[in-house]
Amino acid sequence: MNSKYKKIISPFSFPVSGVEIANRIVLAPMTTFSGNDDGTTTDAEVAYYRERNESAGLLITACAYVIGHGKGFHGQIGADSDALIPSLKRIADALKANGNKAVLQIYHGGRMSPPEELIDGQSISASAVAAEREGAQVPREMTATEIEETIVAFGEATRRAIEAGFDGVEIHGANTYLLQQFFSPHSNRRTDKWGGDLKKRMAFPFAVVDAVIKAATLSLHPFLVGYRISPEEMENPGITMEDTLHFVAALSKKRLDYLHVSVMDFWAGSMRDKNDTAARAMIIAAKVGHILPVIGVGSIHTPEEVDRVLSANIPLIAMGRELLMEPYWLTKVKNNEVDQINTELDISAQDVLKIPTPLWKGLMARTGWLPLKKQPTKTI
């Protein structure tokens, strides 16, 4: 092995837990829609993860709901019951089979949970304010008891991740889901201790972080705790970059291992101010990266693109869409076979790529999300 991409394949140690990974690549969490109705995984989903267990040093699962009223997708895996530990263990074992580290992403959908996936058909959130999207249900405002129960549920999901053999958890505080809803002035209009000014809007996500970190101490082995964040919102009022910098500065005082900045394009500027063209993850890294390592993500496909981000002092790079299309990306980088890396999806390769049918159908229906490989023209 004599790759010219030495930075990509160099090891990295997380500062708090001491967990070490063999390279700088992270498998981004990607919803698979491929679990069973009871929250257990399926053979097809396990095969999908096993096919990608050499794709990165750190492998993050699709999000798992921590409590029943937090389910956000059809076919989503659950972490809300001890009965699901054997199912979670199947995923952890598949991801860790080649020596890399497996992380369970834990989650609550809040007002983004589809009513048809909820027992009572009613989503809940910080306040009774609907998302600004067509057909969005007005959520019911969570009671103080439900808030406390949900905080406990995140801690319990962490315990289950430990028992299932995961090396860590990632708290999903991004992509408009419940933790972000509590931080957002759009979705949180509360006047109690869980809402109001900026500091009070941080209270719920920080209580979740504290519960997860406390649960992580139960592990007999080094155990990661990371946090995923979306830096801005389009809505007005909505989360601004200034809000986020206050948030991450406070978050950096917690015993977290990393901060995963969720954007569609790593190099894109502000979604709120077209004159602000600085990459969001780089602004955040400049603020807290010396304390809290930042994972960059977003439209990164080639080794050259990864190297460019690493050279910008972002220590870890997550890839989702690319590792869907090319599970052996990292192997090809190590072996100097970068000319063989697939950066387009071969629409005839579902079986080869081990992509479960529900996910495959979603990929085919989402026009423009993945570049499709042109098929050869048939001659008669």
Residues 6+ positions from 129 with CB-CB distance below 8 Å = 111, 138, 139, 186, 187, 189
As a whole number, mean pLDDT of residues 176-195 equals: 98
Check: CB of residue 26 under 8 Å from CB of residue 295: yes
User: Can you give the pLDDT at residue 380?
Assistant: 58
Least confident of 108-117, 251-260, 359-368: 359-368
Give me the residue spans of the domains in the chain: 12-365
177 is catalytic: yes
Q: Nearest Cα to 112, choosing from 129, 95, 89, 88?
A: 129
User: Can you give the pLDDT at residue 4?
Assistant: 83
The predicted-structure confidence for 59-74, as pLDDT tens digits, reads as follows 999 999 999 999 999 9
Residue 305 has pLDDT above 90, yes or no: yes
Check: CB of residue 139 under 8 Å from CB of residue 125: yes
Check: CB of residue 72 under 8 Å from CB of residue 122: no
User: Can you give the pLDDT at residue 374?
Assistant: 72
Residue 29 has pLDDT above 60, yes or no: yes
The predicted-structure confidence for 187-243, as pLDDT tens digits, reads as follows 999 999 999 999 999 999 999 999 999 999 999 999 999 999 999 999 999 999 999
pTM (two decimals) = 0.97
User: Can you give the pLDDT at residue 375?
Assistant: 64
The C-alpha R_g of the chain, in whole angstroms, comes to 20
Residue 124 has pLDDT above 90, yes or no: yes
Task: Report helix angle 203-216 to 144-164, nearest 10.
Answer: 30
Tokens of 187: 């979705």
User: Can you give the pLDDT at residue 2?
Assistant: 56
User: Can you give the pLDDT at residue 169?
Assistant: 99
Q: Per-residue DSSP letters for 265-334?
A: STT---SS-TT--S-HHHHHHHHHTTTSPEEEESS--SHHHHHHHHTTT--EEEESHHHHH-TTHHHHHH
User: Can you give the pLDDT at residue 373?
Assistant: 85
Q: Which long-range contacts (CB under 8 A, 24 or more apart) does 358-367 make?
A: 358/32, 358/33, 358/34, 358/74, 358/75, 359/30, 359/31, 359/32, 359/33, 359/34, 359/48, 362/33, 363/324
- 344-372 in b/e form (b: 16+ CB < 10 A) is ebeeeebeebbbbebbbebbeeeeeebee
Residue 257 to residue 293: CA distance in whole angstroms = 7
Cis ω for the linkage preceding 237 (within 30 of 0): yes
Residue 128 has pLDDT above 90, yes or no: yes
CA-CA-CA-CA torsion sign (289, 292, 295, 298): negative
Q: Which is the catalytic residue, given 48, 49, 65, 177?
A: 177
The pLDDT-based confidence of 367 (bands split at 50, 70, 90) is confident
Q: Which fold has domain 12-365?
A: TIM Barrel (3.20.20)
